[in-house]
Every structure is written in C-alpha cells, then in structure tokens.
Amino acid sequence: MGFESRVRALPQLGIGVSTEYGAHTPGQTLDPVQLRAQHPAFGCFLEVGVEIAKGVDADARRWIDARRPWTYHFLDINLDEREDFDAVWLSQVCALINADDPAWLCGDAGLWHFGPREPENMLLLPPILTADAVLPMAEGIQRLRAATSREVLPENPPGTIFLGDLHLLDYFARVCEAADTGMLLDCAHLAIYQRQHGHTPTTGLDAFPLDRVVELHVAGSSVTNHAGLEIIEDDHGTTVLPDTWEIFDHVLARATNLKAVVYECERNSLEETLEGFERVRAATDAHGRFRGAPS
Amino acid sequence: MLYDWELTTSIYDAGVDPILGVHVPATARRVLTRPARELWRSDPYRRSRTLTALLRVFKGSCAWAILQDPPRALTDFFTSRLFHRSIEERTSTVRAFGRWLEEGSVDHAEVAALARLEGGLDDVRRQRTTSSPIHSPRWSMSPGARVTKVPEGTSELLDATVRRLDKHPISATHAAVHREWDCADLTLGAGPHETLLLQRDERGGAHISRVSEPMYDLLAALSSDASPNALSAVGAKHCVSPEDLQELLRDLCEDGVVVGLDSLG
C-alpha cells in the first residue's frame, strides 16, 4: 500500500506534548497528565522519547497504561546503518510497540550514536546531505516500518554543522520519495538550518512535497554567539523564534495530510508553556485543523 | 573533529589526521571544511558531557588519575590515538577510555588496576560479548560474566575508593575532580595478583567474587573461545578428569557463568 493510502488510515491526533525519560520533575516541569486534565486541547497525545535501554518512565507509563494516544519517538537508532538494527534492539522495540500500541513511530533521522549503542557514544548529528546518503536512510525507514508494522516518520534533526551539498529540504524530499513515507517536520530545527545557511525561513518549502508532512514540531530556541558566529540552540524553552512560527504557519496552511502538532516544551512549567500552546491552537483553528481530534 | 580542535585545524589546513597519520580524501575534505571552522568547537560542553558519562563508569580509576602528580588531564583522552581509533573503527568509547587509563598509568599502579577492573565490570553490566561470531565453541563464557587478573587488593581498593567518593556531600564526581577525598591510607596489596570473577546481577549491576587459579585458567580459556580439546588440556593441567570437568561446566552453566549446549565431545 502506498503512502497516500496508508496516511489516510492514520489517526488525527491534534495538539500534543513531548516527554522523555525523567523529563518531568513534580512541581517544576510540565506534567502531561495535568496538562491534559486542565487543557485537554493541548494534551491530545503524548510523544514519548524512547531509548529502548531505558524504556519509558513512570509518567509516560501512566499515560500509556490509561490507553491515551501516544507516539513513539526513537532516540537510539541510526536509520541509515543496517548494522544498527540488531536483533536484541529490534525485538525490544517491537515488544514495546506491540504491547502499548503507539499511533506511529518518529524520530530524528540522523546519527544518534557513533559506534555501539552506548550512552558514552550518544550524540545527535544531522545526516550528511548528499544524494548518496538518501538511499541508505530510505532503506532504514522501510526496514523499521516493515519490522514494526507502523508508520516511521523521519524528522529533520537539529545541528550546528550540516555537511553535504543538498539543501536539507531537498534531502528529505528525496528520502520521503525513496522510502514512500511521510515526515515529521521540526520547524525549529529547520529555522536553525535556514538561518545558519543565510536562507529565509521558508526557502525550499515551495518545492517540498508538503503532503508528506504528517506531524509538525514547534519548540523554543536560544541564540548565542561563538567567535562571531551566531549559534542557535534547540533548547525546548518557551521562546519560539519568529522564524519557527513563520515556517509553522507556512506549512500548516499547506500540509494536507497533517495529523499532529507537538509543542516541545517538556522541561518548563505548565504556566510558562500556555502562551505557546495558545499560539499553536490559534493557528490550527485558523486553518480548520484538528476539529475532530479526540481529547 | 567535534572533540579535537587540533584534528579540525589539521584537516582544514593539511587534510591530515595527525594522530592516525591518515590523509583525508579530497572529496571528503571538501565536505568537512565547507562549514566555518569555528563551528566545530561551538559546543563548549561536548567533551564534558562525554567525560561525565565516562567518569560514572571509571569512578575509582579517574579519581586516582586526577590525584597523580601532576594530575592527569582526562580531556587528553580526546586527542589520543585510542580515542581516534575508536571513532575510526566505531568501537566503544568506554573500552577505549579504559585502555587509555591503563596504558597511560604505567607508573601509577592503582589507576591501571582500577581501570581494568572497572572496565571489566562495565563489560558484564552491558553484557558485551567476547565470543567470535564465526567460531562458536560448545562452551563459552556468558555475556554477563568475565574473569580478570588484577594486582592483589584491587577489588578492596575499588570498594574503599568508591565508598569514600560517595560520601562527598555534592557528588562523587565533584570529589574526584576537585580531589576532595582522602586516599592517604589506601593502597594495593603486597601480593602479586588476585583472580576475580565478575558477574552481572539481576538488577543490571555487577558483583565481584574471587576464584582460584585453576578456575581462572578454565574461565580464561572459555573467554577466548577455547576448543573442547583446549578445555580438556586446562583440566588436565590442574588434575581434573574429563568427567569432573564436564560436571564443573554444567554447574557453571547453572550459575550463569558459562553457556553451552554440548559435551566436551
């Protein structure tokens, strides 16, 4: 079955929030359950960052066990490396997915670790943006999709250094085509890339197949300076760059298969995040998105 | 390049990895040198994050390394041949760091001994396998077990060192990095060595037990994928009959120390 058919079968999740192991500190940072209870429209689903060696923490477990919608955001697979799909890792991933039924899988399509999958070897780097690098990435997406029987949405990773001669959007357009897959477009990550390369926020989006965008991320960033160079850190704070909003609004208006938006703000207090959530909802409402999303 | 500014500079200026002596192909060099050079060192905490993770594994040996006179700069690891090779060969940074601590501490027996023991404990915690995927012996060590031979007193020294570091009100890492712990009365033993069995426990930790020399010889042979004949030879060396050896292997199998499916053949 092709992407067009498969994407129609995906649930519309609406606006959600992300978490990862240990992200929630009671009384200090966002509690997804509390968010859902007090602001149901902002907590339609939970995106759970998973390193399979750690599993999911107690807060995510509570959410999942209540059979609330969630997505599995991998944090430990180099999709473009065949050898990274070892049998132990894959069986653990499949066991979690089969038991807890996420709506889909997604995650940064980059280098999560160099060498073995060990904490000391962990990092996150973007893929090398060359034509040669497209096929291995596409094959990895297809491999994981086949193994898990779930959609696998590659995400454009953040980075300070991007190597390769393709524009990031050109690379991901080719990956989506070769893997016949949808995509998770992280607006904050794209804003960092565009700014660093001297592009306007929406450069390249007109040529990008936006019907492939199934999920959007919005997140805060901070701008620093190193040796006269502007460095933008994807810090998941609550200060969202205007460039990020510009990308978000542009894509929201055109992504015909959009099913979900995550506001990544997991290490901030509920009060601090409400303005960002309101901004996301105003935009989705303006475009008539997620009217039928469960809450 | 993200970890080693000297390497970055050398690749930009000469296209050479100065540590491994490798010339970077022209195409790769063009790709690598296209970003502004300074971007490669724009993350001020990259080394610290990795080093912090390594300090958790090598808590005792690092604490002793920092006590050396002059103190050993642990960040030198990132400019070492061992680190560069581990990146090149895509192998474990933990193992490379352990070897770096060991090899660079010839005059500091405590550091080398503790690094070997802590590296072994990490191997069993993570169940790193030592068996060759090509050669599958009938009996072999379980991924959750290792034997190691270290200077006499190493296991006690590790225990005492970690207990003292953990007493620091801020953190063991703080105690180690700032040399705020007392090691004056701690030392290795006077004997030649101790032979230890390291085993993963049910909670993912690891425990240490002493084993006899003959048992060490047998388990070391199993660790190196020894053939049934070689195992029998180890048994014979220690006056163990083939029948007794077979029974011993079965007992070790039940204890989770070895894995095996067959007789000695």
Please state the ipTM of this predicted complex: 0.89
Q: What percent of chain A has pLDDT over 90?
A: 91
Q: Report chain A's C-alpha Rg in angstroms.
A: 18
Whole-number average pLDDT of chain A: 95
Q: Which residues of B65-86 are buried (b: 16+ CB within 10 A; e: fewer)?
A: bbbeeeebebeebbbbebbbeb
- Closest to A72 in 3D by CA, of A19, A146, A4, A9: A19
* Per-residue pLDDT reduced to its tens digit, B61-110: 999 999 887 777 899 999 999 999 999 899 999 999 999 999 988 788 99
Do the Cβ atoms of B86 and A118 come within 8 Å?
Answer: no
Task: Tell me which residue in B32, B38, B97 faces A226 most closely, judged by beta carbons.
Answer: B38
Do the Cβ atoms of A120 and B97 come within 8 Å?
Answer: yes
Do the Cβ atoms of B43 and A119 come within 8 Å?
Answer: no
Does pLDDT of B133 surpass 90? no
User: A-chain residues within 8 Å CB-CB of B41?
Assistant: 226
Does pLDDT of A7 surpass 60? yes
Task: Tell me which residue in B42, B53, B90 faces A120 most closely, judged by beta carbons.
Answer: B53
* Per-residue pLDDT reduced to its tens digit, B2-58: 999 999 999 999 999 999 888 999 999 999 999 999 999 999 899 999 999 999 999
Which of A1-15, A259-273, B116-130, B184-198 has the least mean pLDDT? Answer: B116-130
- Closest to A201 in 3D by CA, of A240, A263, A236, A243: A243
Task: Tell me which residue in A121, A164, A165 faces B93 most closely, judged by beta carbons.
Answer: A121
What pLDDT, on a 0 to 100 scale, did the predictor assign at position A293?
Answer: 58
Q: What is the DSSP string of B146-197?
A: EEEEE-TTHHHHHHHHHHHHHTSSS-HHHHHHTT-S--TT----SSS-EEEE
Which of A248-257, B11-20, B231-240 has the least mean pLDDT? Answer: B231-240
Full-model pTM: 0.90
Do the Cβ atoms of B31 and A163 come within 8 Å?
Answer: yes
User: B-chain residues within 8 Å CB-CB of A51?
Assistant: none
Does pLDDT of B263 surpass 70? no
Q: Does A115 touch chain B (CB under 8 A)?
A: yes
Do the Cβ atoms of B39 and A163 come within 8 Å?
Answer: no
Which of A136-140, A175-179, B131-135 has the least mean pLDDT? Answer: B131-135
Q: Which residues of A133-159 are buried (b: 16+ CB within 10 A; e: fewer)?
A: bbebbbebbbbbbeebebbbbbbbbbb
Q: Does B171 touch chain A (CB under 8 A)?
A: no
pLDDT bucket at B131, cuts 50 / 70 / 90: low
How far is the C-alpha of A178 from the C-alpha of A79, rounded, in Å? 14
Query: Which residue blocks in chain B are alpha helix, DSSP H?
Result: 5-13, 26-32, 46-57, 59-67, 81-89, 93-103, 109-125, 154-166, 172-177, 213-223, 228-237, 242-254
Grouping H, G, I as helix, E, B as strand and the rest as coil, residue B15 is coil
* Per-residue pLDDT reduced to its tens digit, A214-239: 999 999 999 999 999 999 999 999 99
What pLDDT, on a 0 to 100 scale, did the predictor assign at position B106?
Answer: 78
Residues B86, B92: contact at Cβ < 8 Å? yes
